[in-house]
Amino acid sequence: MISASVNKFELLSTRALERIPYLQYFLFGLLLPFGFAPFHLPGLALLGLALFYHQLNNKKETSPFFSGLFFGLGFFGFGTSWVYVSIHNYGHLSIITSGLFTFLFLLYLSCFPALVASLFCRLVLKPYTIGASLLFSALWLINEYLRATFLSGFPWLLIGFGQIDAPTRFFLPILGVFGVSFISCLAATLISNAINKKDSIYRYNYLFLFIALLASPILLKNVSWAQIDDKKPVSVGVIQANLSMRDKWDEGLFWQLLDRYQQTTKSLLGTDVIVMPESAIPLPATYISEFLDDLDEKAKEKGSAILFGIPQPTTIEQHTFFNALTSLGAAKGTYLKQHLVPFGEYIPSLFQLITSWLGIEDPNMRPGFTNQALIQVHNYPIATLICYEIAYGNLLREQLPDAKWIVSISDDGWFGHSFALYQHLQMAQVRSLQTARYQISSNNDGLSAVINPQGKIENALPAFRDGVLKATIFPASGKTPWVIVGDAPILVFSLLIFLFFTAYQLLFIKLSNQTIAAKHKRRYPYQPS
């Protein structure tokens, strides 16, 4: 009875895949988000990539573009489902309008893996070869880079971020996130090659390369990329208020909010660095100058540096604002957020016509300037990032090697009880490992944490609870290889692979046309005039 039921289920599943040819690609894409937080199963991301690569090698699909598109819809539809939460719950749009915006955004993101599938099927010479593996890995890396930079970019769920839980994490200080994405793709394709090769010699060769690729990074485990000054400990206090978005922006509750921050901050005075989250104070400084002056004076008396998020007017008219991280006490300087969150802080240009037609107002946030001076905390220059900016590696790299540690502030309340909080913290871990710097991460509703230069969380507060996190960090100096060279080497390498296969195909087509023409001429030597 049970056997018959299982057989019937298998038959129905097979028929479903046959009748809906793109369903399997959608399912393959669904595997990738499991490689990221909060699941922490990097092997499943590699499995999804291996299955995608395997199916494309079979060349059974008449439209690889749509195969890649459905793969992307599975990947991003599950992995970035929090986009809908932000648009619907806090953009105050209807279910239908929010669903439409989310679908269009997912469709846009899915075009990138669709491009990978199209180019791979067009350029690959022989399936399940080392050449096919290199081509697929190069195309995937180029796809991630384009997605991270095109139209201001969306560098979320890059495969390299999820590998913080895998041995390949030790490549992060050398190759960066994009480089680890390339290595991960290569590993996934090698195991697929091994399974599909009937010749035992080739099979064992691919298995050996696969094992070597995943095991070799462990040799870098004990390498110290930076010099930690353990004789100069810095005490840290991180405030996690856990305010709902409704309460935070409620004018009637503003003075209660301010009093709460004031009392908590005063209890921490004497701590070297006190950090509050993004937009902790939701009104510009001009409205609360007395409050800030009093806090500044007390912080100086106790030798504390206070860092917090606050909106800063862009013009005298004060109709638009910067999202700022500013300082008081034993710190000086202000950082203005450069990369804004799509839909939350700005409307992407592709969607502005639709939002105008629907009568949706453009958010009044504006991006900050480039090449800003580093904030100084107790005469230490520090790197600062606000929210979404943790995903942009070059933004952090520009502040190094001068910065002695990293401070990132955020308010992930926009995304509700979703994957976003956990994915955000995972990216912060990657950046600490990648740059060999301590990081103080302050988030309004959680996962505030202190991360060490090995990318490990030393102390953290649970999500959706208020509290104060106390820890000790140390200044660091020095450069990791990635800080020195950035992403350029792996990008150039990938482009060279792509150009080689493109040139080969063009040459092959030209030679084929010449051969056909020669055969035709020999068969019909006399052509009518």
Whether the per-residue pLDDT at 15 is higher than 60: the answer is no
Query: Which structure tokens are listed for 44?
Result: 């499943």
Q: Do 410 and 366 share a structural domain?
A: yes
Residue of higher predicted confidence among 93 and 399: 399
Q: Do 477 and 430 share a structural domain?
A: yes
Mean confidence (pLDDT) of the chain: 89
| 91 belongs to a structural domain | yes
* Least confident window among 66-70, 240-244, 328-332, 387-391: 240-244
By residue range, what is the domain housing residue 112?
A: 14-223+496-508
Whether the per-residue pLDDT at 14 is higher than 80: the answer is no
pLDDT of amino acid 16:
55
Angle of helix 95-123 relative to helix 130-149, nearest 10 degrees, comes to: 150
| 523 belongs to a structural domain | no
Q: Do 125 and 105 share a structural domain?
A: yes
Q: Which pLDDT band holds residue 510 (cuts at 50, 70, 90)? A: low
Q: Do 214 and 235 share a structural domain?
A: no
Q: Which pLDDT band holds residue 197 (cuts at 50, 70, 90)? A: confident
Instruction: State which of 25-39, 208-222, 252-266, 277-291 shows the largest mean pLDDT.
Output: 25-39
Task: Find where tokens 């958010």 sit.
Answer: 363
pLDDT of amino acid 109:
96
Residue of higher predicted confidence among 366 and 298: 298
d(CA 178, CA 486): 10
Query: Which structure tokens are listed for 164?
Result: 């913080």
Whether the per-residue pLDDT at 2 is higher than 50: the answer is no
Q: Do 411 and 274 share a structural domain?
A: yes
Amino acid at 74: G
Q: Do 267 and 198 share a structural domain?
A: no
| 4 belongs to a structural domain | no
Q: Do 399 and 298 share a structural domain?
A: yes
Give the strand pairing for 375-377 and 234-240: unpaired
Q: What amino acid positions are annotated as catalytic residues?
A: 278, 337, 387
pLDDT in tens, 338-378: 988 776 677 766 666 666 666 566 667 888 999 999 999 99
pLDDT in tens, 110-128: 999 999 999 999 999 899 9
Q: Which pLDDT band holds residue 185 (cuts at 50, 70, 90)? A: very high
Whether the per-residue pLDDT at 3 is higher than 60: the answer is no
pLDDT in tens, 321-347: 999 999 999 999 999 999 887 766 777
Q: Do 363 and 237 share a structural domain?
A: yes
| 449 belongs to a structural domain | yes
Query: Which structure tokens are listed for 218?
Result: 């462990």
8 Å CB contact between 125 and 132: yes
CA distances from 232 to 329, 454, 459, 470, 475 (A): 19, 19, 19, 17, 7
d(CA 239, CA 308): 10
Q: Which residues contact 212 (CB under 8 A, 6 or more apart)?
A: none
Measuring CA to CA, which residue among 77, 66, 85 is closest to residue 33?
A: 77
* DSSP notation for 298-356: HHHHHT-EEEEEEEEESSTT-SSEEEEEEEEESEE-EEE--SPPBTTTB--GGGHHHHH
Q: Where would I find the H helices in 124-219?
A: 130-149, 159-162, 172-196, 200-215
pLDDT of amino acid 113:
98
Q: Do 198 and 70 share a structural domain?
A: yes
d(CA 279, CA 294): 19
8 Å CB contact between 22 and 63: no
The CATH code of the domain that includes 441 is 3.60.110.10
Residue 355, CA atoms < 13 Å, CB-side half-sphere:
21
Q: Do 31 and 179 share a structural domain?
A: yes
Whether the per-residue pLDDT at 6 is higher than 50: the answer is no
Number of domains the chain is built from? 2
CA distances from 488 to 146, 177, 182, 482, 503 (A): 14, 12, 13, 9, 22
pLDDT of amino acid 158:
98
Whether the per-residue pLDDT at 9 is higher than 50: the answer is no
pLDDT in tens, 149-183: 988 889 999 999 999 999 999 999 999 999 999 99
Longest CA–CA span in the chain (Å) reads 101
**Cα dihedral angle (66, 71, 74, 75), rounded to 10 degrees?**
-130
Three-state DSSP class for residue 182: helix
- DSSP-derived letter for residue 69 is H
d(CA 445, CA 156): 20
Q: Do 385 and 252 share a structural domain?
A: yes
pTM: 0.90
pLDDT of amino acid 513:
60
Whether the per-residue pLDDT at 94 is higher than 90: the answer is no
8 Å CB contact between 470 and 235: yes
| 529 belongs to a structural domain | no
Percentage of the chain lying above the pLDDT 70 cut: 87
Helix, strand, coil % over all residues of the chain, rounded to 5: 55, 15, 30
d(CA 295, CA 279): 17
Q: Do 113 and 143 share a structural domain?
A: yes
pLDDT of amino acid 86:
77
Whether the per-residue pLDDT at 400 is higher than 80: the answer is yes
Measuring CA to CA, which residue among 377, 380, 392 is closest to residue 476?
A: 380
Residue of higher predicted confidence among 470 and 256: 470
pLDDT of amino acid 347:
72
Q: Which pLDDT band holds residue 5 (cuts at 50, 70, 90)? A: very low
pLDDT in tens, 211-233: 999 999 999 999 999 999 989 99
